[in-house]
Structure 1
Amino acid sequence: MPADTDLARLLAGMDPAPHPEPYVFVTVAELPAGLVPRATIREDEGLSAVVTAAEAAAHGLAGAFPCAGITLRVHSALEAVGFLAAITRALADAGIGTNPVAGFHHDHLFVPWDRRDDAMAVLRELAT
């Protein structure tokens, strides 16, 4: 199925799937051997990575922002306009901060671990 750009279809079909384990953000010069991040981005200050809290602890890494990962399973096009804006606005209106990450096929949200159920409720409501 090709990637979609239609905002109404994207919202209706976002199909959010929460991940069961908590994640944290870490920053490293290079990834330690055996560490498999959920997401990475190279910044001037180093490599930022999103890893499970357990992986961070196992590698002796200090993690920040304990969060829940939520994958939006709709195949969103990279050029789609307004999809993440609508989602982050709805979450912000509910007082939930989010760190979105766009993948080639799907978008992923990282929300505070203790607000994960609230975030899922907001996403489900937005999809109706």
Structure 2
Amino acid sequence: MTQNLVRERQAMLAGMKPVLKEGAYFFCTTNDGTIAAALLRCSVAIFREDEGVAIVLIEDDARQHGFDLSMPMRRIVLEVYSALDGVGLTAGVATALADNGIPCNMIAAYHHDNVFVPASMAERAIRILQDVQREAASAER
């Protein structure tokens, strides 16, 4: 199935449907190749950095492997089919959250962009992103 990909910033913001996923997520890191390989199948995301392998895990998996649980994050999926060469979605979302004092970690995947925010700020973040979407949709008309 082919999706209509959106490339223009305003259209991406207007078309996004931010969805707050259940549960807590944790950004973890390891230099142990055996642990990284074992976590590959249960990780939400994995990225090789010079300092080690960064892994995003759900709480049960992070706890089971002894990772630090002091920074629980919530995941917001921006349900818009933004093109890989689309310009401005990440900047628009990160700026709106930053302007409201909410830190975020963005992970752009193939089909959707994902925003990770501190768990204590997630409800406020989702409202802000819904406002951004509504404002962008109104400006498009």
TM-score with structure 1 setting the length:
0.93
Find the counterpart in structure 1 of residue 28 from structure 2.
26
1:42-61 matches, cutoff 5 A: 42-61=48-67
* Correspondent of 2:113 among 104, 107, 116: 107
Structure 2: runs of 5 or more not aligned = 135-141
RMSD value, Cα: 1.4
Find the counterpart in structure 1 of residue 138 from structure 2.
none
Find the structure with the greater CA-based Rg.
Answer: 2
Structure in which a larger fraction of residues adopt strand: 1
- Relative to structure 1, the CA distance from residue 49 to residue 63 in structure 2 (aligned partners, 3 Å threshold; closer, same or farther) is farther
Structure 1: runs of 5 or more not aligned = none
Structure-2 separation of matches of 1:55 and 1:84: 28
Structure 1 residue 61: Cα displacement: 2.1
1:5-16 matches, cutoff 5 A: 5-16=7-18
Q: Contact 1:2/1:75 (CA < 8 Å) preserved in 2?
A: yes
TM-score with structure 2 setting the length:
0.85
Identical positions, percent: 35
Find the counterpart in structure 1 of residue 89 from structure 2.
83
Structure in which a larger fraction of residues adopt helix: 2
